[in-house]
Amino acid sequence: MVQKLLVGLVLGIIVLFVLAGCAPGHPRFSGDRPPAGFLWGVWHGWIAPFALIGGFFNPGIRIYERNNVGWFYDLGFYLAIIGGFGGLSLVRRRDK
């Protein structure tokens, strides 16, 4: 039981570090590099809850990338926020 808890804790910490590396506000979108596009908007929408928590500890982490392409980034971000990881599913099981 303790071993499962320890493994879960270690995996959780690894996941948080991986997500923090892809969080909005990363220097990869600054300077002469291309701004964040639609797919980055989707990704940032999916990890927004984790980025919000990470932002409490690191002021460089934001939930929204300021250097983006505009409307397409906003569309991807919004679709990910309202849809989550499957909330936009067209086929749903109905309870009988």
- Cβ distance 61 to 23 under 8 Å? yes
* Domain-wise residue ranges, the chain: 2-83
Distances in whole angstroms, Cα of residue 88 to Cα of each of 26, 83, 93: 28, 5, 13
What are the pLDDT digits (tens) for 14-64? Answer: 776 666 666 676 666 777 778 888 998 998 888 888 888 888 888 878 888
pTM value?
0.65
The tokens describing 59, both together, are 């002021």
